[in-house]
Amino acid sequence: MSTLPRTPQSAETPATGTARVKRGMAEQLKGGVIMDVVDAEQAKIAEDAGAVAVMALERVPADIRKDGGVARMSDPNMIEEIIEAVSIPVMAKSRIGHFVEAQVLQSLGVDYIDESEVLTPADEVNHSDKFAFTTPFVCGATNLGEALRRIAEGAAMIRSKGEAGTGNVVEAVRHLRQIKNEIARLRGYDNNELYAAAKDLRAPYELVKEVAELGKLPVVLFSAGGVATPADAALMRQLGAEGVFVGSGIFKSGDPAKRAAAIVKATTFYDDPKIIADASRNLGEAMVGINCDTLPEAERYANRGW
């Protein structure tokens, strides 16, 4: 594709893959919506609706749930078709701990790798060493300790896990509130207490101290898992998410193009109920939701990763 050359055209040797470049990339996505897409056509619909990036995957989480079996990295052909089809950034998922899938995704030139609990974990002890890559990683978290462990492994962006493929925002709310509450609590600690806090959080002291000083994660925090409506997206933003991933919620609904544009609007004007109301009109059918309290433990993706 002519607009996106794969090799740098600069004559000088620049520093690539630095923390600043990786984290800075996520900063550019803030205030935006990242949409799951399974083919080039959906990717174009997402781009036209104003998505800031797309997540290329073979099946949206709702279908992964339905189909069962082992969920893996997508076919490289399909990822490349999506890269060719749009000019916005393209993300793709690797299994937790499957660093070879991540190597493959990097070689394809994806802009971000999601080491995702939505796919079947490949390693029940270790996540991938994300410092080993030029391509930045986003990882899911259910609480602050988990977020900081991922950042310690090199994640350049964090998202709530939520419960993907349910169309039910309750778990995303739980995770985001948990992370925000734990950060707020750290703010009130004095230096003596931060060492014990790091032990309790099972996270490196330096990161815990940094969060206590900043009052936020040192990387961008998005929400993911269960957003299905414009109001869901705005809710996550008002709760402190800097942007929103929408998975099954768009392309499992009645009118994907319209719903996608509506969720983008509500994400930008998340604090303006009139605009959210207008965005919510006549969207057709939302995806059918799943009640998370009836979901068996084994089918809870948020429990994957540690």
Residue 265 annotated as catalytic? no
Segment 240 to 269, residues that bind other proteins, using CB under 8 A? 264-265, 268-269
The span from the CA of 236 to the CA of 45, in Å, is: 23
The span from the CA of 272 to the CA of 268, in Å, is: 9
Q: DSSP strand E in 89-228: where? A: 90-95, 112-116, 137-141, 157-160, 220-222
Q: Is 133 in contact with 106 (CB distance < 8 Å)? A: yes
Report the residue number, 3 or 294, with the smaller CB distance to other proteins.
3
The span from the CA of 188 to the CA of 130, in Å, is: 31
Which one is catalytic: 22, 93, 130, 252? 93
281 binds other proteins (CB under 8 A): no
b/e burial code for range 86-106 (CB count within 10 A of at least 16 → b)? bebbbbbbbbbbbbebbbbbb
Q: How near is the Cβ of 133 to other proteins at its closest, in Å?
A: 9
Contact window for other proteins (CB under 8 A) among 86-94, 95-103, 144-152, 293-301: 86-94
Site string for other proteins, 24-43 (x = CB under 8 A): xx-xxxxxx-----------
Hey, what are 271's tokens? 């604090």
- Interface pick for other proteins out of 43, 51, 64, 157 (rule CB under 8 A): 51
Give the residue ranges of DSSP H helices in 30-75. Answer: 40-49, 61-67
282 binds other proteins (CB under 8 A): no
| # residues near other proteins by CB under 8 A | 46
Just list the catalytic residues: 93
Residues binding other proteins (CB under 8 A): 2-12, 14-18, 20-21, 24-25, 27-32, 47, 50-53, 87-89, 106, 109-112, 134-136, 264-265, 268-269
